[in-house]
A and B are shown apart, each in its own frame.
Chain A
């Protein structure tokens, strides 16, 4: 199962605009009898009606790291709160972090890769975006944060479905899938989703996702794991010259800076070529990459290698042996803005052994 046989506390991150229903969901998480004790980090107590001594209000503190990496930001308050919670280890099982409506989800996610203490003690279970079906299309038109939140999500709750028509709902779903076809969508009213669709997802546990979904190669699931081994691989050799054609893999609503995604498959890879290429991609295109995830089959390597990234941070680790009946294929999913998907595709395929 997903919960931490590695002893790490699973963390669920809730994003979504003000009024989308995050507080409703939090109240349900805190009040339902699910046998799991949650520590909850909120931006403000607001209308949380539950008295829980593990409920903490925390001002979002975005810390820039002076490490030469232009988009390396972390949530300082999150680091501090996790550190404080560890002094009460044993009094809770999991952590839920609520972000402000306008928050960029990247610093929260990056905290789980960049901060050694947080990496040691906790792991990102899933990013859950709560979306108000009535307003989300307008939000997406007005802001980039709304798009970022959906792009980052492992799970999207389409909330307030009772307040829109079937046609409006279909338009919302199509728009969200155009941004992030890899997130799981749930239609809800008043966030009335089964909590196990949101919590303990193990969205970062590849095996579980694969066992839930037999359509491995369908673009509908996640491919990442929070491994213990941060490559933090910032390559330097710039690798141009793969602009053979301009086929665009993303679809619909092609606003100039819209978030799009691509899923690329290849055969077995030469690890040296791949690491140089992917390091280069994250170094050069990192600011535009929202999320990157993939499973690699390296030549002469009996194990699957899993990579994931947020902006310029890249992390990878061996996951498990390839099974005898599994096709040794490599697959990479990239979600971002203004990315040259054709070049990514060519570059990835050029890593084939």
Chain B
């Protein structure tokens, strides 16, 4: 049985997820909404707007950045702690690393805050488009103009530069650490195989790729930006090179805005620009409607750890908790 508990927040839903079993929503108005035991609790986290959010790696807290220049950590009990401050900067990129490290960026500034409170500076000469931590070791990828720089956070070891002309935004490592992939404004992905620096171009999108997620065990990289979820295979020796991607949840007239892969199975949740959410199984492409179209596009979508529930949010503040019980 499928159930949907709808919420109405009235403001852009920047991120939704779960802290343990508790659904949590980070809103553009600066608040974080928690739903322990189904009842809503609102916490004022940023004075102005909340621009970016991600879950800490231990899953115990939400890390957020705002246009008040603060990086804050909100725990499941609603307590809020300031991790860092860049006065008057809009912090629109945050990333959670191992050992309690937190990466954050604004414009050309990029920093890592270690669990000890110590700050490391990884600013770039041009705009920082995204940050990501490697799956092993305390290593930070900084997406920048004309490529990506890989920094070792705790050592003086020289940074590794991955070059490709143009602007790079979101960046991510493959779960096995073999590949780095970025999204680019030319409606494309760029990838590098770290062993030999081999470049990969993944193109053909009608829109910008804004949402990317690895499927269970890192077999596929699922992406938004087309009228279907596009999933690039990464399990062969050469990754997606020369391979056709899977296309799931194809619709004739709506672009995919968000993708979220099931944590254990080859199933993907797909959010569209009209607010619809589908779940699709890779093997037979069987589709299940999770939410009908609403007033605005899906802006965030996430599974819980067990893969039994999903949360979503939209640009206009509609949101919900979907349970796939039974």
Residues of A within 8 A of B (CB): 45, 53-54, 56-59, 61, 63-67, 74, 76-77, 79-81, 84, 86-91, 115-117
Are the CB atoms of B12 and A89 closer together than 8 Å?
Answer: yes
Using A53-B48, A63-B166 as known contacts, list a sample of 19 further A-B pairs with CB atoms less than 8 Å apart, ordered by residue number in A. Answer: A53-B67, A53-B68, A54-B48, A59-B107, A59-B108, A61-B126, A61-B167, A64-B165, A66-B186, A76-B167, A84-B49, A84-B51, A87-B12, A87-B50, A88-B11, A88-B28, A88-B48, A89-B28, A116-B208
Q: Indicate whether B88 reaches chain A with its CB closer than 8 angstroms.
A: yes
Cβ contact within 8 Å between A56 and B90: yes
CB-defined A-B contacts under 8 Å, sample of 7: A59-B108, A59-B127, A63-B185, A87-B14, A88-B48, A89-B11, A89-B12
Specify which chain B residues have a CB less than 8 angstroms from the CB of A56 in the assembled complex. Answer: 67, 90
User: B90: which A residues are within 8 A, CB to CB?
Assistant: 56, 81, 84
User: Is B145 an interface position by the 8 A CB rule?
Assistant: yes
Q: Mark B74-111, 1 if CB is under 8 A from A, else 0.
A: 00000000000000111010000000000000011000
B207 within 8 A of A: yes
Measured CA separation A43–B70 after assembly (Å):
21
Residue on A nearest B299 in the bound complex, by CB: A87
A198 CB, min distance to chain B CBs, angstroms: 26
Once bound together, how far apart are the Cα atoms of A77 and B185, in whole Å? 12
Residues of B within 8 A of A61 (CB): 126-127, 145, 167
Tell yes or no: B213 within 8 A of A by CB: no
Which residue among A53, A58, A80, A90 has the maximum number of chain B CB atoms within 10 Å of its CB? A80
Chain A CB within 8 A of B315 CB:
yes
Out of A59, A77, A88, A117, which one reaches B29, CB within 8 Å? Answer: A88
Q: Give 3 closest A-B pairs by Cβ, nearest first.
A: A87-B28, A88-B49, A87-B12
> How large, as a class, is the contact surface on chain B?
20 to 34
Please, which residues of chain A bring their CB within 8 A of the CB of B89?
A: 57
In whole angstroms, how far apart are the Cα atoms of A59 and B127 in the complex?
8
A53 proximity list for chain B (CB < 8 A): 47-48, 67-68
Task: Tell me the dominant secondary structure on chain B's binding face.
Answer: loop
Give the residue among B50, B88, B165 with the most A Cβ atoms within 10 A.
Answer: B88
Contacts of B107 in A (CB 8 A): 58-59, 77
Chain A nearest Cβ from B203, distance in angstroms = 10
A84 CA to B46 CA in the complex, in Å? 14
Residue of A nearest to B68 (CB): A53
Q: What chain B residues lie within 8 Å of A63 (beta carbons)?
A: 145, 166-167, 185
Complex: A66 Cα to B12 Cα, angstroms? 31
Residues from chain A with a CB closer than 8 A to the CB of B186 are: 65-67
**B88 contact set on A, CB distance < 8 A:** 45, 57
Q: Provide the residues of chain A in CB contact with B49, threshold 8 Å.
A: 84, 87-88, 91
Please report the C-alpha to C-alpha distance between residue A57 and residue B109 in the assembled complex, in whole angstroms. Answer: 13
Who on chain B is nearest to A63 by CB? B167
Residue pair A76, B11 in contact (C-beta under 8 Å): no
Give CA–CA (A91, B167) in the complex, Å.
Answer: 29
Instruction: For A67, list chain B residues within 8 Å (CB).
Output: 186
Tell me the minimal C-beta distance from B165 to chain A in angstroms.
Answer: 6
Measured CB to CB, the nearest residue on chain B to A117 is B208
B145 to chain A, nearest CB (A): 7
What separation, in Å, do the CA atoms of A88 and B92 have in the docked complex? 13
Interface string of B46-60 (1 = CB under 8 A from A): 011111000000000
Inter-chain CA distance A66–B168, complex, in Å, is: 12
Instruction: Looking at the assembled complex, report how far the CB atom of B297 sits from the nearest CB atom of chain A, in whole angstroms.
Output: 10
Closest to A45 in B: B88
Q: How far is the CA of A111 from the CA of B103 in the complex (A)?
A: 29
Cα distance A58–B47 in the bound complex, in angstroms: 20
CA–CA, A20 and B253, complex, Å: 49
**Which residue of A is nearest B10, CB measured?**
A90
Q: Is the CB of A86 within 8 A of B315?
A: yes
Smallest distance from the beta carbon of B180 to chain A beta carbons, Å? Answer: 19
Residue in A closest to B126 when the chains form the complex, CB atoms = A61
Q: Which residues of B contact A45 (CB under 8 A)?
A: 88
Chain A, Cβ-Cβ closest to B164: A66
B298 → A minimal CB distance (Å): 15
Shortest Cβ distance from A58 into B: residue: B107
Q: Which chain A residue has the least Cβ–Cβ distance from B27?
A: A87
CB distance from B11 to the nearest CB of A (A): 7
By a CB distance below 8 angstroms, the chain A residues around B51 are: 84, 87
Query: Are the C-beta atoms of A66 and B315 separated by less than 8 Å?
Result: no
Q: Could you tell me the distance in whole angstroms from the C-beta of A99 to the nearest C-beta in chain B? A: 16
Query: Residues of A contacting B12 with CB < 8 Å?
Result: 86-89
* Most B Cβ at <10 Å: residue of A74, A88, A115, A117: A88
With the chains together, A352 CA to B163 CA distance in Å? 50
B256 to chain A, nearest CB (A): 14
Residue from B29, B67, B185 in contact with A84 in the complex, judged by beta carbons closer than 8 Å: B67
Identity of the chain A residue whose Cβ is nearest the Cβ of B49 in the assembled complex: A88
In whole angstroms, what is the CA distance A81 to B49 when docked?
A: 12
B300-313 Cβ-contact flags toward A at 8 Å (1 or 0): 00000000000000
Q: Given A84-B90, A87-B12, are A76 and B127 neighbors across the interface (CB < 8 Å)?
A: yes
B208: chain A residues at CB < 8 Å are 116-117
Please name the residue on chain B nearest to A121 by beta carbon.
B315
C-alpha spacing A238/B49, complex, angstroms: 50
Are A80 and B127 touching (Cβ within 8 A)? yes
Looking at the assembled complex, report how far the CB atom of B273 sits from the nearest CB atom of chain A, in whole angstroms.
10
Q: B207 to chain A: which residues have CB within 8 Å?
A: 116
Most chain B beta carbons < 10 A, residue from A81, A84, A86, A116: A84
Residues of chain B in range 28-62 having any CB-CB distance to chain A below 8 Å: 28-29, 47-51
B274 to chain A, nearest CB (A): 14
Q: Is the CB of A66 within 8 A of B165?
A: yes
Closest to B255 in A: A116
A54 / chain B contacts, CB cutoff of 8 Å:
48
A53-B107 Cα distance, complex, nearest whole Å: 17
A86 to B167 Cα, complex, angstroms: 21
Residues of A within 8 A of B14 (CB): 87
Tell me the minimal C-beta distance from A272 to chain B in angstroms. 26
Q: Quote the shortest CB–CB distance from A43 to chain B (angstroms).
A: 12
Closest to B14 in A: A87
